[in-house]
Amino acid sequence: MRIVPSILEYTADGLLMQLQKLIPYFSRFQIDIADGVFVDNKTITAEKVCKILTTNRSLITDNLYFDFHLMVCDYQKEVTVLERYANQIHINLVLVHFSIIRSTSFTTRNPLFSIGLAINPQDQIADLASNYALNSIPVIQIMSIKPGKQGNPFMPETLNKIEQLHLAGYRNRIYLDGGINDTTIPIIIKQKYLPDILCVGSYLTKSNNIAAKVQHLNSFV
C-alpha cells in the first residue's frame, strides 16, 4: 500500500499552505473538487487549482504528480479544464463518481491522463459490474466515508467492496478514501484483500506535526 495525501481546500492560500506542509514528504497528491451540488460542500474549482499549480513554480516542481477527485455533477466541464492544463501539470488520474455516470457510454479512455471511477458507500459492486467491463477501469476508488467533507466518520463495512472487486475479477488499482488514520488503518490491514492506495486527508492536513504523522503512517504500510 502507498499513502497519497488528499487535499480539500476552499481558498488558494489554503491549498498552497497544505502543499507547502506536505511536499517535503510526498510527491503525489489527490486534490478534491466539490461543487456544493453533488455533495454538500464546495471547494475551489479545478480551474483555480490548475492556475495555482502553474503559477507557483518555485513550489510546484516537475517531479510532483496530481490526481483530481471530482465530486461534481458537471464532471465533463472539469475534465475539459484539466485537459487544457495537462501539458503544464503532471496529472496522473481523474476520478469521476459512478453515481453520476451510471452509463456504458462513459469512457475511461483519455490520452492525457487516466480516468477512474469513485464509488460511494451505497453503491454496489454488482451494479458497477453490470454497467462496465470492470478491467476497463484503470482505478476504482472506494469511498469509506460519506463523501464531501474531511472528518466524516469511517465506515468499515465499505471494506467489503475490496473483496467483492477481487472476487469479481478486478485486477487494476484500488484506492480507499475517507477517514483513514492511525485508528482505522489497523482495521484495514486486517482484511484479506488490501487497497493499493490509501488517500489520507485530515489526519495529515489538520496536523501540527506532519513528520511524526508521516512516520506513524509509514509504520503500518
Domains of the chain: residue spans and CATH: 2-218 (3.20.20.70)
Asked whether the beta carbons of 142 and 117 are under 8 A apart, the reply is: no
What's the confidence (pLDDT) of residue 104?
A: 56
97: its cell numbers: 463518481
Helix (H, G, I), strand (E, B) or coil at 191: coil
Task: For residue range 26-79, list pLDDT tens digits in order.
Answer: 999 999 999 999 999 999 999 999 999 999 988 888 899 999 999 999 999 999
Top pLDDT among 190 and 110 is at 190
What's the confidence (pLDDT) of residue 22?
A: 96
55: its cell numbers: 503559477
Task: For residue range 130-177, list pLDDT tens digits in order.
Answer: 988 999 999 999 999 988 777 788 999 999 999 999 999 999 999 999
Task: For residue range 94-131, list pLDDT tens digits in order.
Answer: 999 999 986 656 777 788 999 999 999 999 999 999 98
Asked whether the beta carbons of 26 and 2 are under 8 A apart, the reply is: no
DSSP state of 159: G
Residue 22: phi and psi, rounded to 5, are -95, -25
pTM across the whole model: 0.94
Q: Which of 152, 202, 204, 199 is nearest to 176 (CA)?
A: 199
